[in-house]
Structure 1
């Protein structure tokens, strides 16, 4: 298996696990506090619906939305990267640094840590910019 494909697959699985963990974090807080905004969920546990989501759930939802703005773009660029045969040597660095940046972004978001959240976000964007440059260089 080609090195770029291998590291793309590893990054994809790690990003899935990160997003799954973000969802589990929301569920953990809802379940342990028996606080649900959806009427059917609240009724299932014999409670009234909450007026607002728990603060932890709100933060995780915002981190999740940010993932939805970035991870699909990374996945698309990653497919293009491996298909055009862009730099094999840079692939593990770009794919794993992006993945680490997304993990850190989520942790920093959940912990309300600035400027670290923005730094992690910027590192991920730089990785995608370099991937884009590498793709264009490979097709020219």
Structure 2
């Protein structure tokens, strides 16, 4: 463990991994906020105690809620691979400046992706931010494989 604490790339990784994980975690309360503020609930138990007419009105989808929910799903599909690959990448002891570039670009791309998704910005803003994050993860995966490939 002491050796890991001396690995600057690993320490940088823990910082940026924590940032993107917290960003991902904040999407759940944001979804709840949009559900309540838009009066759009997806489950019967969310509107228990309401009259049949109120339930009918509240059990619906809303574009804002769906956009935030899909953004959260996209985070799960991209941040989890980043964390796994980024950990392996950091353990290859890459040059700190290169590691920081990878981590910063990924974190920035996910933040831009969220702003583009939730703000309903026109394409290709969301698509570009998504592809940048994916390219960073693939770049780190390439480094891992090229460093430790033992076939």
Q: How would you bin the TM-score normalised by the shorter chain? A: 0.7 to 0.9
Q: Equivalent residue of 1:129, what SS?
A: helix
Please give the TM-score of this superposition, normalised by the length of structure 1: 0.87
Q: Indicate the residue corresponding to 1:36 in structure 2.
A: 41
Alignment of 1:9-24 (within 5 A): 9-24=14-29
Runs of 5+ unmatched residues, structure 2: none
> Aligned pair 1:111/2:116, yes or no?
no
* Higher Rg of the two aligned structures: 2
Q: Name the CA shift for 1:115/1:9 in 2 (closer, same or farther; >3 Å).
A: same
The alignment yields a C-alpha RMSD, in angstroms, of 1.9
> Aligned pair 1:139/2:143, yes or no?
no
Q: Indicate the residue corresponding to 1:8 in structure 2.
A: 13
Q: Equivalent residue of 1:90, what SS?
A: helix
Q: In 1, distance between residues paired with 2:82 and 2:40?
A: 34
Cα shift at 1:44: 5.5
Q: Name the CA shift for 1:18/1:45 in 2 (closer, same or farther; >3 Å).
A: farther
Runs of 5+ unmatched residues, structure 1: none
More deviation, 36-45/3-12: 36-45
Please give the TM-score of this superposition, normalised by the length of structure 2: 0.81
The answer to whether the Cα contact below 8 Å between 1:35 and 1:54 also exists between their aligned partners in 2 is: yes
Q: Indicate the residue corresponding to 1:70 in structure 2.
A: 78
Q: In 1, distance between residues paired with 2:49 and 2:137?
A: 43
Cα shift at 1:45: 6.6
